Structures are given as C-alpha cells and as structure tokens.
Amino acid sequence: MSHWYAGWKFWPERAKGPVGADFRQVTWIRPYRPGPLRVILALFGVLVTAGPAFLSFSILLGPGPVVPRFVYASAFGLLAAGMAIGVARFFAVGVYVNDAGVRILTIRAMAVYPWRLVTDVSTSSRRDDLDAEGDRVVITVRDIGPIATPVRRHGMDFVGRAEPFTMASLAVERWWRDAGAMGRAKS
C-alpha cells in the first residue's frame, strides 16, 4: 500500500551504523531544543501573520478596480512577509555549533566564530544592572573578549527549566572542548 508520505524524510540521509573517527559535523546544529515558551510564541506569531496574508489574498481576489486592489494587497503582503521573517528569526535565536565553529544568532544579528579563536566557554552567574537575568553561557573570543549568548537560565528556552539549561551549557562547553581542540591543534 502506497502512502503520500512514503518518500518523505524528516532527517537527512546518514550512513548506517556508528560514526567513525573521521566524521566531521558540517551542518549547524543547536545542541539544545527550543523551549515550550518559544514554540508557543512562535506558533502565535504564525497565527497573527496569517491575518495579513489572508487579507492580502482576499483583497487581491475581491471585486473592484485592479490598481487599488493590487496596492492594498501588496501592502498587506509586505506586512505579512515582514512578520513571517520576524517570527522565523525569533524561533531561530540561539547558539549553533559544528566542528568548524560556533554561530550566535540573535533577533538582530548573527556572529560566527571559528573554534580556533574561542578561548573559553563558561557559565556566568553575574547579576548587575546590565545583566539582570542571571546565569548565561558566555563565549570568550580572542581579540574580542567575552560574548554573552542567548542561552540564559531565565531566557525564552529555559524559563522554569533549570536542568535543560545545565544540559545546554554543558553541551556547548563539551563541543568547544572536543571540536575546538581539533581546530586549535591545526593552527
């Protein structure tokens, strides 16, 4: 019996069996899962974005003169596209790693640092006026200094979830120690 989803794959093709010592992770992966609050707010953003998109299509397909309909549909379409980009960017915020380096993605910016430039990955528990959120993962980059990441104990992904924060911070540290050691050995 053939199903419409028979050829669909949720994960990329991988070699069967254990991974050898020569395997290199080249795709960016987030070493932790997005938290439920981030997922719920992103889904709400998708629902809110659907309003202007539906309005754009209904105006475009509705009766009346073509030029005003096109202008209004374009305006609502641009609004929907901007909102969709914002929601996607909000959902993607985080720290991504691979064997080459670390990528820090925020809503406004993205920074990529090779592991050979990263001198330390640690968890900071500084509490002052600038950083009232408490514990967060800090990546120290040579010639730049410490960089605070979006991985925070009371951030969008870990609010009320202390154990996943600890696991995420340890995963980033472990990736720096393992993959970063290979990069530092090459340079």
Write down the pTM of the prediction.
0.78
Task: Answer whether residue 123 shows pLDDT above 50.
Answer: yes
Summarize the confidence of residues 36-43 as an average pLDDT: 92
Computed on alpha carbons and rounded to an integer, the radius of gyration of the chain in Å comes to 22
Summarize the confidence of residues 32-48 as an average pLDDT: 92
Report residue 157 as tokens.
């992904």
pLDDT one-digit tens code per residue, 7-27: 555 555 666 666 667 777 778
pLDDT one-digit tens code per residue, 142-183: 989 998 889 888 888 888 888 888 898 899 998 888 876 665
pLDDT on residue 184:
56
pLDDT on residue 99:
87
The candidate with the shortest Cα–Cα distance to 177, out of 134, 121, 105, is 121
pLDDT on residue 1:
45
Domain coordinates of the chain in residue numbers? 37-91, 113-186
Summarize the confidence of residues 92-119 as an average pLDDT: 91
Summarize the confidence of residues 42-56 as an average pLDDT: 94
Helices and strands counted in the chain (H then E): 3, 6
